[in-house]
Chain A
Amino acid sequence: MTPRQRRVTLVVGILAGVSIAGALALSAFRENVMFFFDPSQVAAGEAPIDKRFRLGGMVRPGSVDRQAGSLELQFVVTDFQQDVPVRYSGVVPDLFRENQGVVAHGRLGTDGIFVADEILAKHDENYMPPEVARAIKDKHGGVMPANPDLRSVPET
């Protein structure tokens, strides 16, 4: 091979390799990586029964029911369209609050109750002065929306 042919081979090889790698990564995205469902999908019967997945949404206000003297806990996860009742036994994270985002790992029983073995809470990332927060909450009926209309800044 002449040096020129060799360079062409090299470039073609790199392009081919990078494209194959990209195609493989794209196939990964087509899979449901997270096994993540929201309450509407669960209500529509898309979530598997008796297989571990994640359920994400907001904790419906007033739905948290703690059994006194035990770690048993029941609450409702909602996406403001559908609700899914969740049962959990254990310590919940500090940021677990009503009206805050929550992700529960576990299995959906045939009775429609999601039995969680792990609860994760997510702190929201909107920075704003307290009075603005109050105003936004008032406008949305006391709930902090997922995407308040503020200027966005790039990620750190």
Chain B
Amino acid sequence: MGWAWFHRFGSPPHLYRLAGTLTPWFAWPAAILIVGALYLGLFVAPPDYQQGDGFRIIYVHAPSAWLAVMIYAVMAIAAGVGLIWRMKVAHAVAVSCAGVGAWFTAVSLVTGMLWGKPMWGTYWVWDPRLTAQLVLLFLFLGYMGLRSGIEDLGRADRASAVLALVGVINLPIIRYSVEWWNSIHQAPSVMKMDQPSMPMEMLAPLLMMLLGFSLYFGAVLLVRVRAEILRRERSAAWIREVLS
């Protein structure tokens, strides 16, 4: 197997066309899965024995929280590829991730707060997951802030890539330290060392939603990457061909 596919992947016109072809393949299944999961989650799944219908917000909250972390990982990988192989389109992918990731993080925080009201009796609790998610939001904002502070595109790409990589090394440490901090100041989960558990009829819509959100992210990423490539290559000859 050669590296030809890898280099072709790095060519802006090729990626531009590929992304255009792939977008509907992500967008449609995402729409179907999300609508289906919403129906199953809101109408079919039974209410929880302690939280009643309030628990249903998990169907938005948990997938956005997972997605937020996943998007950070995708961003860091793309940034790393861009930094090491000096691949311009990889930087375009990394940039396109940041905004979506920040939004998913914000959604997971807001839904977490809405969930907190029935569960804890208050909108905000320094729960380890919420806290780690908040720090993740700051990481995304820092990434975007650094980019907007640098005028030169090449420097912005590489500097923000270094930051993304530093953040990805730090993320597990931050998550662990927040858990540790919380286990000291809140009730440690000694009675509950295991994972939260769920029966199939509640779990299925959650997994569907997770897949739907992931595909949605894929679709949005493709559209944004296309826009980013257009912006970066606006003076290139192939753009005129494509657009005419």
Chains A and B directly touch (beta carbon < 8 Å): yes
Interface residues of A (CB under 8 A from B): 33-34, 36, 38, 54, 56-58, 94, 101-103, 120-134, 146-148, 150-156
Residue among A36, A54, A57, A129 with most chain B CB within 10 A: A129
Residues from 179 to 210 in B contacting A, C-beta threshold 8 Å: 180, 183-184, 186-192, 194-203, 206
Does B46 belong to the interface (CB within 8 Å)? yes
What are 14 A-B pairs with beta-carbon distances under 8 A?
A34-B183, A57-B191, A58-B191, A101-B190, A103-B188, A122-B186, A124-B192, A127-B196, A127-B197, A127-B198, A128-B49, A129-B199, A150-B198, A154-B195
Q: Which residue of chain A lies nearest to B119 when distances are taken between CB atoms in the complex? A: A123
Inter-chain contacts of A128 with B (CB < 8 A):
48-49, 197-199, 202
Q: B191 contacts A101, CB within 8 Å?
A: yes
Min CB–CB distance B96 → chain A (angstroms): 25
Inter-chain contacts of A129 with B (CB < 8 A):
46-49, 199, 201-202
A147 to B189, CA, bound (A): 12
Min CB–CB distance A15 → chain B (angstroms): 15
Q: Contacts A128-B48, A129-B47: A54 and B197 contacting too (C-beta < 8 A)?
A: no
Residue among B48, B65, B119, B206 with most chain A CB within 10 A: B48
Inter-chain contacts of A102 with B (CB < 8 A):
187
Min CB–CB distance A108 → chain B (angstroms): 17
A101 to B105, CA, bound (A): 30
Q: B61 contacts A150, CB within 8 Å?
A: no
Inter-chain contacts of B119 with A (CB < 8 A):
123
Q: Contacts A127-B58, A130-B49: A150 and B195 contacting too (C-beta < 8 A)?
A: no
Inter-chain contacts of A56 with B (CB < 8 A):
187-188, 190-191
Q: B196 contacts A54, CB within 8 Å?
A: no
Residues of chain B at interface, number, CB under 8 A: 38
Inter-chain contacts of A124 with B (CB < 8 A):
50, 191-192
Inter-chain contacts of A147 with B (CB < 8 A):
192, 194
Q: A38 contacts B190, CB within 8 Å?
A: yes
Inter-chain contacts of A54 with B (CB < 8 A):
188
Instruction: Encode B159-175 as 1/0 by CB contact (under 8 A) with A.
Output: 00000000000000000
Q: A153 contacts B203, CB within 8 Å?
A: yes
Inter-chain contacts of B120 with A (CB < 8 A):
123
Q: B184 contacts A126, CB within 8 Å?
A: no
Q: A122 contacts B203, CB within 8 Å?
A: no
Q: Which residue of chain B lies nearest to A153 when distances are taken between CB atoms in the complex? A: B198
Q: B196 contacts A153, CB within 8 Å?
A: yes
Inter-chain contacts of A154 with B (CB < 8 A):
66, 195
